[in-house]
Amino acid sequence: MPGGIEVWVVVGVIVLLFGASAIPKLARSVGKAKKEFKEGMKEADAPDEAEASAKETSDSE
């Protein structure tokens, strides 16, 4: 598990590589990607309504 010094070194390197103005844009992009990923996972976990209704129809026959 990284300690405090390692985290600050990584943050410093990121600032040097990307510049201070690019970091908020990068964080925003990561946040959007995380949100889209979570929405996709919810969609994958939830059964499709079409499949559920088709299953109920075939069960009742």
Q: How confident is the model at residue 56 (pLDDT cuts 50, 70, 90)?
A: low
pLDDT over 90 (residue 44): no
| Whether the Cβ atoms of residue 18 and residue 10 lie closer than 8 Å to each other | no
- Other CB atoms within 10 A of residue 21 CB: 7
pTM beyond 0.85: the answer is no
Q: From CA 14, how far away is CA 30, in angstroms rounded?
A: 14
> How large is the average pLDDT for residues 14-34?
90
**Among the residues of the chain, which ranges form H helices?**
4-18, 22-45, 49-60
Residue 11's pLDDT is: 87
Percent of the chain at pLDDT > 70 equals 74
